[in-house]
Amino acid sequence: MVDITGHVAFGLLFALPAWQFWTGRTSVAFVAIAAVASLLPDIDLWLAVLFPGVIHHHGVTHTVVFVTCAALVGGAIIAALVAERFDDWTGGEQFGRRRLFLFSFLGFLAGGLAHVFADMLSAPDISTPIEPLWPFLDGSWGIDLVWYNAGWINVGFLAVMVVVHVAVAYLTTTAAQRRRLFPR
């Protein structure tokens, strides 16, 4: 398990392909959804307080099933709430509710899976094991690659991912689009 900055960094990593599929603010929206969703599986930390003994960290919220269900709900909420304003804000592609639902679903899925993957890379010795494929496969999956309290790794990775996103945004957008992305 990595800290918050590490999870957001992994969300940014998993959202990086957005710059190849969409342009300008549409990519920014996808990246933002994925970054926020990269924190979603840790909702179990709050739920464990409300339901002690029932919910534990690295439990059901750290599974592919939960992430997929949360992505479906998140995609539906975004499609219902912002469909009309989204097309105006992006200033380009016309999405409509169905396409915005799929777009948002994929953003939530990328962020949530990034979180689960990040937790698989760290701290199996000091935290409860992660079982990302439950209920289909029992057993924990993980590699003790990153120490949880390695703040320099988490912050450093986040800084690198922000720089990479800014560079890719600059390189993949036209001058006219850049004015909308980076207003003066």
pLDDT at site 109: 99
Record the tokens describing residue 155, joined without a space: 């912050």
- Evaluate whether 73 touches 146 at the Cβ level (below 8 Å): no
Total count of domains within the chain? 1
pLDDT (mean) for 20-30: 91
Note if the pTM is more than 0.85: yes
Domain enclosing residue 73, as ranges: 4-181
Q: Mind listing the pLDDT tens digit for each residue in 30-62?
A: 999 999 999 999 999 888 899 888 888 888 899
Q: Mind listing the pLDDT tens digit for each residue in 133-162?
A: 788 878 777 676 666 667 788 899 999 999
- Evaluate whether 9 touches 157 at the Cβ level (below 8 Å): yes
Mark out the alpha helices in the chain (DSSP H runs). 4-15, 18-21, 24-37, 43-50, 64-90, 96-120, 151-172, 175-181
Record the tokens describing residue 137, joined without a space: 């496969």
pLDDT (mean) for 153-173: 93
C-alpha distance from residue 45 to each of 69, 87, 138 (Å) = 18, 36, 22
